[in-house]
Each structure stands twice: as structure tokens, then as C-alpha cells.
Amino acid sequence: MSLYQLQRERDLGQLVETLRRSDDPAIRRRAAEIIGGIFESDDIDEPDLVLNDGPGDDSILGAAEDGERETVIDVLVSTVKHDNAEGVRAAAIDALDHHSQESLERVVDELSGKDLASAADWVAARAFAEVLDDGQPELRIAAATGLGRVGDPSVTAALVKRLSDPDARVRARSAVACGRVGDPRAVEALESRLHGDPDINVRAAAAEALGEIGTEAALGALLGADGDDSESVRRVVADALGQFGSVDPVDALVGYLEDDSETVRRTAMFSMVEILSNAPPQRSHDVREAAADRLGSATADEVVPPLSEILTDSSGAPQRRNAAWLLGRVVGDEYESTAREALLAALGDDDGMTAQFAATSLTALDSPGLEDDLLELVKSDDASHELRSKSLFVLGKVGGDDARAALGEFVDKTDDDGLREAAFSALSKLGGIGGGAGP
């Protein structure tokens, strides 16, 4: 069975067996990464799967009965200690991190001889900090990761020191830990890594950490990183800029909309919407207007498809609201149909403000096919009441003679008092049944 199938079926047992038995380090590493993903998504405290390591029996069993059996955590710890591929060892540490702080403490216990099983957080933080200088890079990785979990600002200086570690994996984990701790004192060192580290993963980790710290100094460091040669680093920087609730990153994000990479461009657009969503309520209108003004310099193909995707697929109501609002201000002829389809679907959004923004944006479209689409929705018994009502509202703004005639018939035929009232309202805006267009 492939790793893809094991991931899809969330088969921890076979994934662990692959980690233990495969001769290919790339496969072992991927197995460890998938296990970590399962831990992260399921918030598993202690997997009840155990492995019988006796002769001829490698089956996954339901409970431990003797000392020869190993839990999933046992196998991950053993991987950290004994696997001959450093990438596999690092992936196993990440999987343990996704599982719990206790799992990381166990790695430190076994590699350093320390006993952290019952230690308070501040004691664990001190112990982790002490082993950051250990000669084994895996122990330094585990310690840096553990310090990020503890989140005690008293260890910031020790983590900053490890940002200059000779092992890039340790530098990257230390940067991630600095972001988790969130101490502004790490900004200068992270900025140095972001602009000067030769390793892509370290630069990306530094960018992510600066976004999590979120101070003005952190923003300044990110704004100066738009010329990185690595697509993955530029993507992370664009993503990190979306964590700030001010208009300051907007110009930089507009610049990213011209990036050669489609992934970077889409990430920048998503971040733009995040900035609008995170803006303080008293400033949200000003921030939206400033973003729309800056987006006027971008081309429609850089803006409309990602905004339409956010409006259609995002699970967050603030994100959908702002995507709907922006679409009415940036759409161009080439992508008019893409924007129209997304906005029409959003008319029935469960969030009333999203539906209202979508309706308002539709009225800004100069679209010859919009009237027919709206009439089709109004007449559809399969469409929700909210969707049909909002379609009638938009028709009252954009409809012509055909809409007025169709609405006159609809008023006579519908049994829904609410829709009849909405249709009358639309007709009154269009000049009434048989009348000319209103002012």
C-alpha cells in the first residue's frame, strides 16, 4: 500500500511499520511526517497501537502485554536515537512535537540522561536550555523545539544563540521556537537569518517567526525581504505579512502580486484579505479603502481568481466578506465571469454581511449576462430563500425591460409572501410594472 493511501486511511500501524522497516530514507522520512500530521490533526494523547517485535510477529496489536512491545512513541524515539539519516531523525522529532511536550522531554531524557518526566515547566525550560549546547544536533533540535512548546521568554537568549548554530536544522527549529515564544528581543537575530542565512528552510522559519511576533520591528524586517531568490521564502514572507492588522504591508503585498510564481501571488492575495479581516473594527473601512486603492495598480488576473477562490472556499466569514467587497472594485472584463459566478453563489451565504457585500459588488459589474443569471436564480425552486431574495435585490439595481416583465409575472405566480414583497421592491426601483426605468 502506498504512503498516500496510508495517509488517506490514517493507518498509524502500517505507517509505523514503514518507518521501522523501509530501506529508503526518503520513505521513512515521509512516514514520520505523516504520523506527525495525524497527531496534530487528531490531538492524540497516547496512541494505543503497540508493536510486537518478537520473532516472526510484526503485527499491530491492541494492548501491551510484555516488555518486547513498543508504542508508536517508542518507535519515534528510537528513530531519533538510531536512524542513520538525519532528515528522518528530524522528521521524527517533529512528529513527537506534534504529539506532546512529554514526548519531546522523553527524547531529551534518553539522549542526555536528564529526567524531565515530572518537572515543572520552568524546570523543563532550564533543562532544555542546558542541552541546547550539546554536541548531538538531534538533541539540540529536540531542545529548541521543546523550548518553543514551553514558551518561556526567559529562554529567548539561549534560542537566539542557536540561530547561529552550525547545523541548519537547529537554526530552523530555533527560529520556529522564537516565533512560538513571541519575544520581541529575538527580532534582530531573526532578521539577520532572514536576510543572510544560506539555508532556505532557515530563512523561511525566520520569516514565519517574525510574523508570529508581530511587532513593528518584525514587520520592518519582513518588508525588506521581498527580493529573496527562493520562491518558498517569498511565499512564507507574503503569508507572514497577512498577520498584521494594519495597512502598512499592503504596498508590499501588491508588489508580490507581480511575482513570477503563481503560488506567491495567490498567497499575497490571501494575506491581503487577512489584513482586512484582522483590522480593528474602527479602522476596517479605512483599511479596506486603502487596499482597494492599492489594488487598482494590479491586473485582474493577479487579483480576481484568488479573491473568487477565497469567496467560494474560505471557512472564515470575515475573509469571505472582504473578498466579496473587493471583487466589486477590482474586477476586469477578462475575469468578469469568474467574479460573477463566485458573487452569485455568495448571495446565499449563511453570513448575512457576506451576502450583502456580494449583492453590492454584483451591482458594480457591467455584465450583459448578469440579468439572466439573476432571473434564473429567482425562478429556481432549488435555490434558498435568501439567495432568491438577494437576487431580487440586485435585479432592482441592474435590471432592464426583460427583468421588469419577468418580475411582473413572478409577482402573480409566487406563493411566497417574502419573495413577492422583494419582487415588488425591485419592480418599484425599475419603474413598476409596465413603467419606464426609474431615476
Residues 134 and 154: their CA atoms lie apart, in Å, by 19
Instruction: Report angle CA 352, 272, 252 to the nearest 5 degrees.
Output: 165
Stretch 203-228: mean pLDDT:
93
Residues 108 and 138: their CA atoms lie apart, in Å, by 9
- pTM assigned to the model: 0.74
Question: In the prediction, which pLDDT does 56 show?
Answer: 40
Identify the band that residue 193 occupies on the pLDDT scale cut at 50, 70 and 90. very high
pLDDT tens string 262-296: 899 889 988 988 888 877 777 777 777 777 777 76
User: DSSP state, 434?
Assistant: T
pLDDT tens string 408-421: 888 888 888 999 99
Residue 65, pLDDT > 70, answer no
Average pLDDT of the chain is 83
Residues 393 and 377: their CA atoms lie apart, in Å, by 12
Which single residue is written with the C-alpha cell 449563511? 350
Nearest to 172 by CA among 85, 261, 82, 87: 87
Collapse the DSSP code of 415 into the 3-class scheme (helix H, G, I; strand E, B; otherwise coil) and give the result.
coil
Residues 27 and 251: their CA atoms lie apart, in Å, by 42
Stretch 178-207: mean pLDDT:
96
pLDDT tens string 295-341: 766 666 778 888 888 998 888 888 899 899 888 877 666 778 888 88
Residues 391 and 340: their CA atoms lie apart, in Å, by 12
Question: In the prediction, which pLDDT does 50 show?
Answer: 53
Residue 49, pLDDT > 70, answer no
Question: In the prediction, which pLDDT does 182 show?
Answer: 94
Residue 51, pLDDT > 70, answer no
Question: In the prediction, which pLDDT does 211 show?
Answer: 95
Question: In the prediction, which pLDDT does 66 show?
Answer: 38
Which secondary-structure segment (H or E) carries 51?
strand 50-52
pLDDT tens string 105-121: 787 777 766 665 555 66
